[in-house]
Chains A and B, each alone.
Chain A
């Protein structure tokens, strides 16, 4: 099994969720996160005092799926979350050793 992780622009979260659902994924976890990449941060000014804010708000999505599905999930996310401007985020895939559903104790693919 694979874990697909995506860090995206917050306003894209609904579109990405819908796209991932269309692919038949049963679950998705989102977290509000802050970070920076090449986009870097922005500047805020309060009564003339300038602050550089390095961390930009983003949404982190996590989807667990079968090995064969991971690439298509990642590609769908890339297609939907892309604006073409700097700061669109990242997607990556990592292997998962095992997974359980807490309610029933089912393991592996049955737990998805």
Chain B
């Protein structure tokens, strides 16, 4: 195995960038909840860095990248014994295998953290700990194996997902929906006003996410090369175009361009470009971003239409944005950008084959993640004393005080 120092340097940096996204996501969500729940939200996110990292080292990495089974990994890398020098099956790495493990760890951390936006303000912390544990091992690792491991069935099929449109965004988005259906709505939703308590926090979080996303997408090239550059440019342009298209739609429909709209649009673009980042070029990222911004802007209304309290629009932005990006890749995937593409997209002359493969993997991810998450949270609701949801009284008092014995803001000290 040849270790390239330039590649290694870049992926080291990219791993740190992706790590920073989880606290960024915490702020993005934290600003959107009411003041009495802010620490609850920050903690559910930040805690992922603690628990998921340890789980990943112990077994999660191995379940995602060990062995060459089509559906799930094995325990070959459990405890990281062999992960130091042995690359996972099918990878021709030019970076130390342990760095690949570390880089993928940051993906495993942020993916379940995305779910917290949907379940805001009403899950017991203890229930979150158990959900996080089981979801990481039983849902994240297998789906990561299908798509990211060269031996996974989705990868073998020829479906494309550069940095996790299915594994990260669709997976977390549909899991969020399952959680919401079991947890139920926040008390008073949708009649009682629940405006964001601190949009400046949300803007800081959005900036950190955007910054970290360069590591997420450009790092997924696993090399410091032209493909990484293309992924970085695509990532930035998609976020920019999606911010613009969201704001235009918002201004036309509601009369104002809002900061929350700018933040939401940028994130929608980042989500949609994630699967496409290393497979498209030219103006495609701008088109993909612009489409995602508008689609997601209208998708956040789904929760009102179907009356499910996806509190901070994880379904509207991550699920719908992830599906949008994954399917658009079936149109835009271009071999001249990345020769590793087996089937080109429709617009590159590859016919509808790739669209079909993308659809298959999207549907499989939706089905598996939804059913497994539903099963996990229903079992937890039965098994855990007190169930998964806080009492009405605690919900009213806020997660900060009742789950963590703290308050986010104290004006008189």
A residues neighboring B (CB under 8 Å): 44-49, 51-53
Contacts and interface: CB of A to CB of B under 8 A. Distances in A.
A46 B304 CA distance: 13
A25 B254 CA distance: 48
A45 B196 contact: no
A48 B195 contact: no
Given A45-B254, A45-B256, A51 B261 contact: no
A47 B313 contact: yes
A46 B190 contact: no
For the residues of B in contact with A, the DSSP-based class is loop
Contacts of A48: 250, 253-254, 300-301, 304
A44 B260 CA distance: 12
A47 B301 CA distance: 9
From A44, A45, A51, A53, residue with most partner B Cβ within 10 Å? A45
A47 B195 contact: no
B190 A49 contact: yes
Contact of A51 (B195, B300, B304): B195
A53 to B, nearest CB: 8
A46 B202 CA distance: 12
B300 A47 contact: yes
A52 B193 CA distance: 8
B149 interface: no
Contact of A47 (B193, B256, B261): B261
B196 A46 contact: yes
B190 A45 contact: no
Contacts of B190: 49
Contacts of A49: 190, 304
A49 B260 CA distance: 12
B9 interface: no
Interface of B: 190, 193, 195-196, 250, 253-254, 256, 258, 260-261, 264, 300-301, 304, 313
Contacts of A45: 254, 256, 258
A46 B313 contact: no
Q: Report the 8 A-B pairs with minimum CB-CB distance, sorted nearest first.
A: A51-B193, A51-B195, A47-B300, A45-B254, A46-B195, A46-B260, A46-B196, A47-B260
Contacts of A46: 195-196, 258, 260
Contacts of B260: 46-47
Contacts of B196: 46
A44 B254 contact: no
A44 B195 contact: yes
Nearest to B254: A45
A45 B251 CA distance: 11
A34 to B, nearest CB: 14
Contacts of B313: 47
Contacts of B300: 47-48
Contacts of A51: 193, 195
A48 B256 CA distance: 10
A38 B264 CA distance: 35
24 contacts: A44-B195, A45-B254, A45-B256, A45-B258, A46-B195, A46-B196, A46-B258, A46-B260, A47-B260, A47-B261, A47-B264, A47-B300, A47-B313, A48-B250, A48-B253, A48-B254, A48-B300, A48-B301, A48-B304, A49-B190, A51-B193, A51-B195, A52-B193, A53-B193
Contacts of B193: 51-53
Contacts of A47: 260-261, 264, 300, 313
Contacts of A44: 195
Contacts of B253: 48
Nearest to B264: A47
Contacts of B195: 44, 46, 51
B291 to A, nearest CB: 19
Contacts of B254: 45, 48
Nearest to B300: A47
Contacts of A52: 193
A53 B250 CA distance: 21
A38 to B, nearest CB: 22
Nearest to B261: A47
Nearest to A51: B193
From A46, A47, A49, residue with most partner B Cβ within 10 Å? A47
Nearest to A50: B254
A50 to B, nearest CB: 8
Nearest to A47: B300
Contacts of B264: 47
Nearest to A45: B254
A14 to B, nearest CB: 23
A48 B252 CA distance: 12
A51 B250 CA distance: 16
A44 B190 CA distance: 15
A99 B25 CA distance: 54
Contacts of B261: 47
A52 B256 CA distance: 16
